[in-house]
Amino acid sequence: MESPVPTERLYYQDQYLKEFTAIVASVEELPDGKVGAVLDRTAFYPEGGGQPADTGVLEGPSGKLKVVWAENRGEDVLHIGELEGSLSPGDEVRGVLDWDRRYAIMRTHTAAHVLMHAVDRLFGRTALAGSGLSVGSGRLDFAAKITRDQLPSIEEEANRIVQMDAEVRANVLPRDKAEELLARYGAGLGPAQEGMEEVRIVEIVGVGADPCGGTHVARTGEIGGIKILKRKSKGKGVVRLEYAVSGFY
C-alpha cells in the first residue's frame, strides 16, 4: 500500500542530517519476519544508483525499529528492520542514522565522482559502464582502455582534486539549466535522465559535473585521500578500478 503523500526526502535538503522526527504512515510485517515502516519524511537514504541504504534506528513511544535496510517503494521509502515493542501509524518517531557508516558512504561516493573526473581530465571524456559503492570502498567500470601503467597518474590526479578542497554542490535544476551546467564541463545527460523535467546535478566546482541522486560530502577535502586498490579487465573494452578512501586502505 502506498501512502497518499510521497515520503519527503530530508537528505536532499541536508545531506548531513543525522537525526530527525517523523510520523509513521504505515507499518507492515514482511515475509522474512522483519518489519517495514513508511514515514511522512526521512533522512534514511534508500538503496539506489549504486549507493547502499542507510541503517540506524527509529524510536517510537512504545517501541523501536532497528533499521537494517531502506528501499524505494514507489515514491515512498520503506525502512526495514527488527522491531522491539510496537510501532503504529500516527506514532511520532525519532530517527537516528548510523552516521559513521553514512559519512563513509558519502566520502566514498564523492570519491567516485573525483576518480571519474580524474580519468576524464587525463584521457578525455570516458563513459562509465557501471559502478558500485560500499562503506569506504567502491568500484568503477570504465569503457576505456586504462592500463596498469596509468594507475599512478589517475591516483595522483584524483588526490590533487581532493587536496583542492573543491566545493561539491548538489542542485535539482530544470532540464535545460542542467544541460547548460553539464556542457560547461563537456558532459551531458544520459539515457537514465530521459524524459526528466528536472535533474539533480552534482557539481565539483571547477572540476566536473554529473547527474546524480546520491549523498555527497560538501568539499572534496573531506574524502581525505583516494587509493586505487585493483585494476581488472572485464572484457569488451571495460576496465574495472577498485578504490578506497582514507581510513579504509
* Interface with Zn ion (CB under 5 A): 202, 212, 214
Min separation Cβ 38 and Zn ion, Å? 25
Beta strand pairing call for 41-42 and 8-9: parallel
Output the smallest distance, CB 17 to Zn ion, in A. 17
Distance CA 34, CA 31 (A): 7
Pick the closer one to Zn ion by CB: 39 or 212: 212
Whether 136 contacts 245, CB under 8 Å: yes
CB 79 within 8 A of CB 34: no
CB nearer to Zn ion: give 57 or 218. Answer: 218
Residue 96 one-letter amino acid:
V
Q: How far is the CB of 216 from Zn ion (least distance, A)?
A: 6
Please say which residue, 15 or 159, places its beta carbon nearer to Zn ion: 15
Gap between the Cα atoms of 223 and 44, Å rounded: 21
Whose Cβ is closer to Zn ion: residue 96's or residue 135's? Answer: 135
Query: Minimum distance from CB of 49 to Zn ion (Å)?
Result: 7
CA dihedral 178, 181, 186, 189 (to 10 degrees): -10
DSSP 158: H
Nearer to Zn ion, 34 or 101 (CB): 101
Rounded distance, CA 218 to CA 249, Å? 22
Shortest Cβ distance from residue 229 to Zn ion (Å)? Answer: 20
- List, in order, residues 6 or more apart from 241 with CB less than 8 Å away: 115, 139, 140, 142, 146, 151, 154, 228, 230, 231
- What distance in Å separates the CA atoms of residue 47 and residue 54, rounded to the nearest whole number? 8
Closer to Zn ion at the Cβ: 5 or 205? 205
- Find the shortest distance in angstroms from Cβ 210 to Zn ion: 7
